[in-house]
């Protein structure tokens, strides 16, 4: 089987279930595992490089308003690869190439590849997508084993959280300029990690909010998780927010590898939950110690 993956998350899943050797085409963002970088790139971004978060938001809003695509599909590369299966998404036009572009390109090329479209909104949806990819690629037993291990790890976190006396109030910033409250699986991640997600709704889209909403939420912890940024990029934005006095006084600010463990609907979401559970546990311990003193 010859597979083209148009999502970084599905590329990760395909390699994780043992179908990596079948992957012949990927996007410019497919960087995990490292060997994925050696596959032919068939999708790139139309966004200029070096933009600030505010400029990125403005560029995306303007492009969407004009009906322009944010990604470019290399139809020639797609034709050369002669794929049997193309994996794409129908979740977010800002995150990856739109499925309609893929369908149109395949029809134009006369390509008969099967198109598997994934649209996860919750953690259960993400795990279900692992099974769908396993089934589509003939790796269902491996996919089932992966899902079972991820659920086991989530159970360990859940058991640890069950013993906690309280739940810190958590604001996750999916973007910082302007601020965006989280949606999709991220509020679930906070809940599973032992926090109370005080902005954003599980299973829904992320939403732009004013800074006053962040302050009014009275968070104990602010998780800086700007979509598409690694930990260093998120840390730089977190540091800027702290230096500017934008966040509430005394709040714990934690920057995460959003690109790897929060924004991509793949196995590493569980890594993000485990990390946040540790952060919130330490926050509770420190708060308890302060109260005792």
DSSP-H helix ranges across 98-139: 99-109, 123-136
Domains 3-119 and 163-292 share a fold: yes
How far apart, in whole angstroms, are the C-alpha atoms of residue 183 and residue 217?
Answer: 16
Read off the pLDDT band of 100 (50, 70, 90): low
For the sheet with 179-181, list strands across it: 175-176, 179-181, 207-208
pTM attached to this predicted model: 0.91
The two three-digit tokens of residue 123, written as one number: 């953690």
Residue for token digits 């971004």?
45
For the chain, strand residue ranges (E) read 3-5, 23-27, 40-45, 71-73, 85-89, 114-118, 169-173, 175-176, 179-181, 196-197, 207-208, 221-224, 252-255
Place domain 163-292 in its CATH homologous superfamily. Nitrogenase molybdenum iron protein domain (3.40.50.1980)
Which among 114, 156, 152, 148 is positioned nearest to 131, based on CA atoms?
148
**Beta-carbon neighbour count of residue 155 at 10 Å?**
10
**Cβ atoms of residues 178 and 214 within 8 Å:** no
**pLDDT at res. 186:** 97
Domain range annotation of the chain:
3-119, 163-292
**Mean pLDDT (whole number) for 209-217:** 96
Mean pLDDT estimate for the chain: 89
pLDDT digits (tens, 9 = 90+) for 8-19: 999 999 999 999
**Cβ atoms of residues 126 and 188 within 8 Å:** no
Least confident of 60-64, 67-71, 113-117, 257-261: 67-71
How far is C-alpha 71 from the geometric centre of its chain's CA atoms? 17
**pLDDT at res. 108:** 44
pLDDT digits (tens, 9 = 90+) for 44-86: 887 888 899 999 889 888 877 877 777 777 878 877 888 899 9
CATH number for the domain running over 3-119:
3.40.50.1980
Read off the pLDDT band of 289 (50, 70, 90): low
Instruction: Print burial letters for 209-220: b (CB count within 10 Å at least 16), e (below 16).
Output: beeeebeebebb
**pLDDT at res. 292:** 47
């Amino acid at each position: 089987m010859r597979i083209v993956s148009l999502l970084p998350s599905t590329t990760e899943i395909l390699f994780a279930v043992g179908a990596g050797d079948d992957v012949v085409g990927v996007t410019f963002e497919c960087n995990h595992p490292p060997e994925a970088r050696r596959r032919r790139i068939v999708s790139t971004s139309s966004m200029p490089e070096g933009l600030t978060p505010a400029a990125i938001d403005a560029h995306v809003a303007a492009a969407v308003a004009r009906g322009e695509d944010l990604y470019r599909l290399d139809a020639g590369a797609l034709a050369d690869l002669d794929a049997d299966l193309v994996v794409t998404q129908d979740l977010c036009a800002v995150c990856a190439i739109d499925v309609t572009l893929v369908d149109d390109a395949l029809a134009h090329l006369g390509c008969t590849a099967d198109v598997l479209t994934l649209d996860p909104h919750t953690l259960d949806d993400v795990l279900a997508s692992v099974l769908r990819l396993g089934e589509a690629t003939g790796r269902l037993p491996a996919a089932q084993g992966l899902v079972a291990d991820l659920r086991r790890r989530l159970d360990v976190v859940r058991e640890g959280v069950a013993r906690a006396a309280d739940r810190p109030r958590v604001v996750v910033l999916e973007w910082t300029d302007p601020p965006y409250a989280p949606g999709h699986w991220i509020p679930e991640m906070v809940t599973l990690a032992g926090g109370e997600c005080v902005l954003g709704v599980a299973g829904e889209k992320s939403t732009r909010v004013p800074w006053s909403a962040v302050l009014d939420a009275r968070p104990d912890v602010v998780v800086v998780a700007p979509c598409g940024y690694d930990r260093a990029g998120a840390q730089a934005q977190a540091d800027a927010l702290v230096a500017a006095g934008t966040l509430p006084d005394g709040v714990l600010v934690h920057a995460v590898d959003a690109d790897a463990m929060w924004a991509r609907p793949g196995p590493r979401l569980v890594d993000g939950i485990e990390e946040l559970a540790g952060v919130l546990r330490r926050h509770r311990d420190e708060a308890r110690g302060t109260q005792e003193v």
